């Protein structure tokens, strides 16, 4: 079955170059970059880095066009390089696959990535280690592209941790500052916690599939056999649920969700282009992508999806509430990123995978634009990041202002900008799943509008609050920086039009494009079989038509079983998720509700903007009076990020350090102590033994000798040395002998 699928997919050997070109760029820049920079110039380094990225973009576009020209159900390109690990049941290859989902991700990564490469050349204009910066950016591109192009879980994991490495290197790029490197380490370690869960989740799936005789880690093959997970449990939990939960914990690490979001705000220590590329547009969306990629698996675990939805919604709200009170221009954006990622997870959790990915794309545009805009501001303000020292900048840097403003409108969710369509799609799907989720999401949307406009007003409006010296040097940024801003702002306006929902007269191109990938979640209520066959094949209709395909029939028969437990079809008994699915199928549409909800969210956004205007521009309301609500406690909680960092520090970091110190003490004193004690005891025993030997054993020998010695000493007195005495003795002796003879 699996072999058939492999045989029929189209091969595109250009896929490898999407990954390899940035890798080559990274290798050259990291090894020879310093020499190139010194001998040829800074531009050469930048051109190399950007050029590789742009070339990758070109190849992606080329493949995208190829993909577009194919029939929707067979849209898949693969490129097999060589076997990576083939041991026993494990058989994974270095191989890439390019399907609609990968295509979207690749376009975003290489497209926005290239823009940010160009921007970086302007932003890092005084950086001596430019070569290292571009090398790491290219390495990041390589890792991220590996993540989205890898055809199996382990190759994805290579990218997954690879982006972590690059993120570490770029957060700590200015490594002479201790805070930066600490932030970098924190990011890596928190991600590692997630990765640990991720790898465990992978193992569960793999071994359960092996037990069923279908051991594979290739996504498109897993999609075909994943229904075999049904009925397996581990530690009393269904395997699908446990595995997806673990994978999701991995995603919370990479995508900064509760409980592992803490690293992202700190990650802002990196250069701003890095924050834009890695910590807003691409890397942090890896978790969302991963869930999308394994949607067939997640769809089997409604419990996990519930958790994901709630975690996403809660994260959206919590991060937004922290964003309300921050003063660091990048921290606000960081929390906004966490919050927006929460929306994406909310979408994934309610089974609206396409909506989640859609938000990922639009968010990539407007958030990249916002970060680059903030970078432009920071650059002009000589690395000042505190919004309290800004203000009125729109007069000095109009392009930055306008692009920033457009993106802010987009993130606030005002039509017809990109954010509106994607966010509303999510909120609508959330509402269908569970109105509480919608409520949380809407609340977060209101806060988003407020804090984003608070930022705009504090930064660009009013009077400038910077010192005289800084004001004198204020200037609009150079062309390499403004050009990407303009393009991204344009994207922030238009990208949303790709996914105008049916309710608004659009035809949701985006969702249709992704349909083959998320076919598993598109199991319709009409009971067409074989719908679980995903990327590898087609969706239900295609299978039903191709009667010659023997396996299709099998799929169709097997399908009801998996549906029953997977909860992914329209069975009302299976709660919210199934509702969501039904909607995706486009059946039970309640148009009035949808319009109403759109109205509500536009209203909330407007309210947030108005409030921000009143507080920070018109000065009608005093922010401080709001800060004092509830005795100032809510404000303090928000301002101090709910003290989560402190709690984690006390619990985990100090705990681990204490434990390690304790164990090191144990090792040095107890374990080694025992060894040394053994040595001491042996030493003492040998001393005792030595004494025994010396005084008892040898004593006996000496005693014998001494006895004879003393006896000899006594006898020797006979030997007087006096000749006369000897003669007397002789005389007596002779006399006695004679007398004896006489007897």
Q: Which of residues 393-452 bind another protein (CB under 8 A)?
A: none
Nearest CB to another protein, comparing residues 93 and 449: 93
State how far the Cα of 50 lies from the Cα of 53, in Å rounded to an integer: 5
From the list 151-159, 263-271, 371-379, 482-490, the region that binds another protein by CB under 8 A is: 151-159
| Contact flag: residue 525 with another protein (CB under 8 A) | no
Helices (H), 40-152: 42-68, 100-123, 130-149
Nearest CB to another protein, comparing residues 44 and 199: 199
CB 47 to another protein: min, Å: 22
Nearest CB to another protein, comparing residues 168 and 461: 168
Strand partners, 152: 218
The phi, psi pair for 683, rounded to 5°, reads: -60, -45
State the pairing for strand pair 90-98/233-234: unpaired
Strand partners, 86: 91
Q: Which of residues 188-217 bind another protein (CB under 8 A)?
A: 188-189, 192-193, 195-196, 199-200, 203-204, 206-207, 210
Nearest CB to another protein, comparing residues 665 and 692: 665
Q: Which of residues 29-48 bind another protein (CB under 8 A)?
A: 30-31, 34
State how far the Cα of 545 lies from the Cα of 720, in Å rounded to an integer: 137
The phi, psi pair for 324, rounded to 5°, reads: -60, -30
Q: DSSP for 685-712, please give it.
A: HHHHHHHHIIIIIHHHHHHHHHHHHHHH
C-alpha closest to that of 522 among 537, 533, 510, 509: 533
Nearest CB to another protein, comparing residues 671 and 705: 671
Q: Which of residues 211-250 bind another protein (CB under 8 A)?
A: 234-235
Q: Which two tokens stand for residue 638?
A: 């928000």
| Contact flag: residue 667 with another protein (CB under 8 A) | yes
State how far the Cα of 272 lies from the Cα of 290, in Å rounded to an integer: 26
| Contact flag: residue 672 with another protein (CB under 8 A) | yes
Report the sign of the C-alpha dihedral through residues 409, 410, 413, 415, in that order.
Answer: positive
From the list 467-475, 513-521, 564-572, 712-720, the region that binds another protein by CB under 8 A is: 712-720
Nearest CB to another protein, comparing residues 471 and 736: 736
Would you say 20 and 84 are in contact if contact means Cβ atoms under 8 Å apart?
no
| Contact flag: residue 366 with another protein (CB under 8 A) | no
CB 272 to another protein: min, Å: 20
CB 35 to another protein: min, Å: 11
Report the sign of the C-alpha dihedral through residues 451, 453, 455, 458, in that order.
Answer: negative
State how far the Cα of 458 lies from the Cα of 385, in Å rounded to an integer: 12
CB 135 to another protein: min, Å: 10
Residue that the structure tokens 């957060």 belong to: 171
From the list 185-193, 384-392, 430-438, 580-588, the region that binds another protein by CB under 8 A is: 185-193
From the list 379-387, 394-402, 538-546, 711-719, the region that binds another protein by CB under 8 A is: 711-719
Nearest CB to another protein, comparing residues 74 and 185: 185
Site string for another protein, 256-285 (x = CB under 8 A): ------------------------------
Q: Which of residues 645-664 bind another protein (CB under 8 A)?
A: 656-657, 659-661, 663-664
Given candidates 718, 738, 740, 742, which one binds another protein under the rule CB under 8 A? Answer: 718
CB 449 to another protein: min, Å: 38
From the list 9-17, 362-370, 549-557, 720-728, the region that binds another protein by CB under 8 A is: 720-728
Q: Which of residues 52-91 bind another protein (CB under 8 A)?
A: 82-90
Q: Which of residues 462-491 bind another protein (CB under 8 A)?
A: none
Half-sphere exposure of 469 (CA within 13 A, CB side): 2
| Intra-chain end-to-end CA distance of the chain, in Å | 132
CB 63 to another protein: min, Å: 23
Given candidates 185, 478, 494, 617, which one binds another protein under the rule CB under 8 A? Answer: 185
CB 716 to another protein: min, Å: 3
Nearest CB to another protein, comparing residues 70 and 659: 659
Where is 78: in which H helix or E strand? strand 77-87
Nearest CB to another protein, comparing residues 193 and 525: 193
Total binding residues for another protein by CB under 8 A?
72
Nearest CB to another protein, comparing residues 190 and 456: 190
State how far the Cα of 562 lies from the Cα of 156, in Å rounded to an integer: 26
Nearest CB to another protein, comparing residues 177 and 624: 177
Q: DSSP for 264-294, please give it.
A: HHHGGGS-HHHHHIIIIISGGGHHHHHHHHT
Nearest CB to another protein, comparing residues 69 and 213: 213
CB 278 to another protein: min, Å: 17
Per residue in 138-175, is it b (16+ CB within 10 Å) or e — as a string? bbbbbbbbbbbbbbbbbbbbbbbbbbbebbbbbbbbee
Q: Work out the number of other CB atoms within 10 angstroms of the CB of residue 615.
A: 21
Would you say 595 and 427 are in contact if contact means Cβ atoms under 8 Å apart?
no
CB 404 to another protein: min, Å: 33
CB 663 to another protein: min, Å: 5
CB 146 to another protein: min, Å: 8
- What strands lie across the sheet with 90-98, from one edge to the other? 10-11, 77-87, 90-98
C-alpha closest to that of 153 among 232, 87, 242, 250: 250
| Contact flag: residue 382 with another protein (CB under 8 A) | no
Nearest CB to another protein, comparing residues 154 and 487: 154
Would you say 601 and 594 are in contact if contact means Cβ atoms under 8 Å apart?
no
Given candidates 548, 723, 739, 742, which one binds another protein under the rule CB under 8 A? Answer: 723
| Contact flag: residue 172 with another protein (CB under 8 A) | yes
| Contact flag: residue 24 with another protein (CB under 8 A) | no
Nearest CB to another protein, comparing residues 646 and 667: 667
Strand partners, 150: 96
Report the sign of the C-alpha dihedral through residues 25, 28, 30, 33, in that order.
Answer: negative
Would you say 163 and 198 are in contact if contact means Cβ atoms under 8 Å apart?
no
From the list 221-229, 323-331, 570-578, 713-721, the region that binds another protein by CB under 8 A is: 713-721
Report the sign of the C-alpha dihedral through residues 474, 476, 478, 484, in that order.
Answer: positive
Q: Which two tokens stand for residue 259?
A: 């409980």
Given candidates 178, 383, 468, 620, which one binds another protein under the rule CB under 8 A? Answer: 178
State the pairing for strand pair 77-87/90-98: antiparallel
CB 20 to another protein: min, Å: 12
State how far the Cα of 607 lies from the Cα of 449, in Å rounded to an integer: 8
CB 664 to another protein: min, Å: 3
Where is 584: in which H helix or E strand? helix 575-584
Q: Which of residues 678-707 bind another protein (CB under 8 A)?
A: 679
Nearest CB to another protein, comparing residues 249 and 381: 249
Given candidates 119, 123, 140, 168, which one binds another protein under the rule CB under 8 A? Answer: 168
Q: Which of residues 298-337 bind another protein (CB under 8 A)?
A: none
From the list 274-282, 450-458, 465-473, 710-718, the region that binds another protein by CB under 8 A is: 710-718
Nearest CB to another protein, comparing residues 33 and 582: 33
State how far the Cα of 220 lies from the Cα of 242, in Å rounded to an integer: 21
Would you say 409 and 353 are in contact if contact means Cβ atoms under 8 Å apart?
no
Given candidates 472, 721, 738, 743, which one binds another protein under the rule CB under 8 A? Answer: 721
């Amino acid at each position: 079955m699996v072999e058939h699928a492999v045989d029929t997919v189209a091969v595109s050997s250009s896929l490898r170059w999407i990954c390899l070109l940035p890798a080559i760029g990274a290798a050259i820049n990291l090894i020879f970059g310093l020499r190139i920079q010194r001998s040829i110039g800074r531009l050469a380094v930048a051109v190399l880095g950007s050029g590789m990225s742009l070339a990758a973009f070109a190849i992606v576009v080329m493949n995208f066009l190829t993909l577009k020209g194919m029939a929707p159900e067979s849209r898949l390109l693969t490129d097999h390089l060589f076997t990576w690990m083939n041991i026993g049941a494990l058989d994974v290859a270095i191989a890439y696959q390019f399907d609609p989902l990968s295509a979207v991700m690749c376009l975003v990564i290489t497209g926005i990535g290239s823009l940010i490469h160009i921007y970086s050349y302007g932003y890092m204009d005084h950086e001596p280690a430019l070569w290292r910066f571009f090398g790491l950016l290219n390495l990041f591109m390589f890792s991220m592209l590996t993540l989205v192009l890898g055809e199996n879980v382990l190759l994805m994991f290579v990218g997954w941790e690879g982006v972590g490495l690059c993120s570490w290197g770029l957060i700590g790029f200015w490594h002479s500052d201790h805070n930066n490197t600490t932030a970098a380490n924190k990011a890596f370690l928190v991600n590692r916690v997630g990765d640990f869960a991720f790898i465990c989740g992978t193992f569960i799936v793999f071994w359960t599939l092996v037990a069923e005789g279908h051991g594979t880690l290739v996504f498109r093959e897993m999609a075909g056999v994943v229904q075999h997970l049904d009925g397996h449990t581990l530690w009393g939990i269904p395997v699908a649920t446990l595995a997806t939960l673990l994978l999701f914990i991995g995603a919370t690490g990479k995508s900064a969700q509760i409980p592992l979001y803490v690293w992202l705000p700190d990650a802002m220590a990196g250069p701003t282009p890095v924050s834009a590329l890695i910590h807003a547009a691409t890397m942090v969306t890896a978790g969302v992508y991963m869930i999308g990629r394994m949607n067939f698996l997640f769809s089997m675990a409604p419990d996990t999806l519930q958790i994901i939805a709630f975690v996403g919604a809660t994260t959206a709200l919590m991060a937004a509430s922290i964003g309300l009170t921050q003063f660091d221009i990048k921290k606000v954006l960081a929390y906004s990123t966490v919050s927006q990622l929460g929306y994406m997870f909310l979408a994934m959790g309610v089974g609206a995978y396409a909506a989640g990915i859609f938000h990922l794309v639009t968010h990539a545009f407007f958030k990249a634009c916002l970060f680059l805009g903030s970078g432009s501001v920071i650059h002009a303000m000589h690395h000042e990041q505190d919004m309290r020292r800004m203000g009125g900048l729109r007069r000095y840097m109009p392009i930055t202002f306008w692009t920033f403003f457009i993106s802010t409108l987009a993130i606030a969710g005002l039509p017809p900008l990109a954010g509106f369509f994607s966010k509303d799609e999510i909120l609508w799907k959330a509402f269908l799943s569970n109105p509480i989720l919608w409520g949380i999401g809407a609340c977060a949307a209101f806060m988003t509008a407020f804090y984003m406009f608070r930022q705009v007003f504090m930064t660009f409006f009013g009077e400038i609050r910077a010192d005289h010296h800084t004001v004198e040097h204020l200037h609009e940024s150079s062309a390499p920086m403004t050009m990407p801003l303009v393009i991204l702002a344009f994207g922030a306006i238009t990208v949303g039009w790709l996914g105008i929902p049916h309710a608004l007269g659009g035809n949701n191109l985006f969702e249709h494009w992704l349909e083959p990938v998320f076919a598993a979640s598109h199991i319709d209520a009409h009971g067409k079989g074989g719908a679980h066959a995903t990327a590898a094949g087609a969706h239900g209709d295609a299978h039903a038509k191709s009667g010659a395909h023997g396996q299709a029939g099998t799929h169709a028969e097997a399908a009801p079983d998996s549906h029953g437990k997977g909860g992914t079809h329209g069975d009302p008994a299976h709660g919210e998720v199934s509702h969501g699915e039904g909607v995706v199928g486009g059946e039970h549409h309640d148009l009035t509700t949808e319009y109403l909800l759109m109205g509500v969210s536009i209203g909330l956004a407007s309210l947030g903007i108005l409030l921000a205007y009143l507080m920070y521009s018109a000065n009608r309301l005093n922010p401080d009076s709001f800060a004092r609500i509830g005795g100032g406690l809510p404000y303090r909680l928000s301002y101090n990020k709910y003290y989560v960092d402190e709690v984690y520090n006390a619990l985990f970091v100090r705990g681990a350090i204490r434990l390690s110190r304790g164990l090191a003490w144990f090792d040095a004193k107890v374990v080694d102590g025992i060894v040394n004690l053994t040595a001491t005891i042996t030493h003492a025993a040998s001393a005792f033994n030595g004494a025994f030997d010396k005084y008892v054993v040898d004593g006996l020998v000496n005693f014998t000798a001494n006895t004879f010695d003393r006896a000899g000493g006594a006898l020797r007195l006979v030997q007087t040395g006096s000749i006369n005495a000897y003669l007397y003795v002789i005389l007596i002796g002779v006399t006695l002998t004679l007398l004896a003879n006489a007897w």
